Structure 1
């Protein structure tokens, strides 16, 4: 697999639609975008995006007034298992534009900003399925994974064999992030943005997240 920096240079040289060269410009200083996609399933090859949300973050400010939110009409079937998760029914997306019409607006919104997400590689893989045929390249944006930031603050010094929980709910609980309705693209992007801002602040202050001890601590007082 090519290193991402080399891949970025290759994409910059081979982009087929020159109107998207803005994707390689310098991103605004200290700005990132939290993203989330809701899909018909977890198979990139056969499943489709049904909702996309993106929220800009400037410094430690989450700019909810500067967001992108869209529902898309999928080509694949809306299976019952997925509907139970994201609660979007076939009737909810029937009149929505196909995802190919949604992608250009999303690309112009995110520009060259780094993309923040929870298991962001999956979201980007789903997006690239549409972006590659449209633009001729995959997303060149830097990726920031909140579960990695969380791991660094809580588990990077954990002893071998320590139990590690990188679930969304564990991060939410440790960081005291408000529990919004999950599997709604906007809510998930917003909670992810809050996680990112909090984790970056902890890193800047050199603060770690406490772990529960895995065994009782001997107390000679008997307390």
Structure 2
């Protein structure tokens, strides 16, 4: 083992995982990869959103995950995931006012390893979609590394914050937030900042995108388009 890797493993030890969860994790790892060669409108996507104790990737913690499926452009509301990870201490009152997950709900949440395993079993190996992947992805990875020893860096991700303007360029002069796209497409969301509600709203934005996308557009081409949009945004604004 090289010295840098040794040092890294010393400060980031592998988690001790319950045997039952380890077996489920191995089954998840063995799942086949999805066929991404078909038009992206035909692919099953997992749309997700997270709630956290704050906006610091280093200091703050993952509190909740909401996820839904988007299958052939449809959202089966009977198949969703909404989990709260048990916290050692609740987030601040100011933070609770945003996501409305009470102190008691945080302290009585699901064991983090179990909650994250449920999340992995829900998403399978399907492509993932979020609004601002640059925040949701590292927050998920941080928790997954801590409790299950894995990350989602090798999964296919789409960021609606950059994909939506590709199909509605007249609305792309500024970097729009989720509220903007919900208002534009008349999407109702009475529980804004609740992870599952925001995931479903993001999925509805994705539905509109699918209706506007060229026929037979492949996800590989869409990823190239997204990457170009990100580069342009970074050149204009200095950040992703």
How many corresponding residue pairs? 185
Q: Which has the higher helix share?
A: 2
Between Structure 1 and Structure 2, whose CA radius of gyration is higher?
A: 1
Which of residues 186, 195, 212 is equivalent to 2:196? 186
1:110-121 to structure 2, matched below 5 A, reads 110-121=123-134
Which of residues 105, 114, 119 is equivalent to 2:118? 105
1:84 and 2:97 correspond:
yes
2:162 alignment counterpart: 148
Structure 1 residue 27: deviation in Å?
A: 2.3
- The answer as to whether partners of 1:22 and 1:112 remain within 8 angstroms in 2 is no
2:212 alignment counterpart: 202
Change (3 A) 1:81 1:188: same
Which of residues 69, 76, 79 is equivalent to 1:66? 79
- The answer as to whether partners of 2:165 and 2:171 remain within 8 angstroms in 1 is no
Structure 1 residue 123: deviation in Å?
A: 1.2
Change (3 A) 1:54 1:179: closer
1:169 and 2:179 correspond:
yes
Q: Which has the higher strand share?
A: 1
- TM score, norm. by length of structure 2: 0.70
Partner SS state of residue 38, structure 1: strand
Change (3 A) 1:69 1:179: closer
For 1:165 and 1:178, the matched residues in 2 are separated by 21
- TM score, norm. by length of structure 1: 0.75
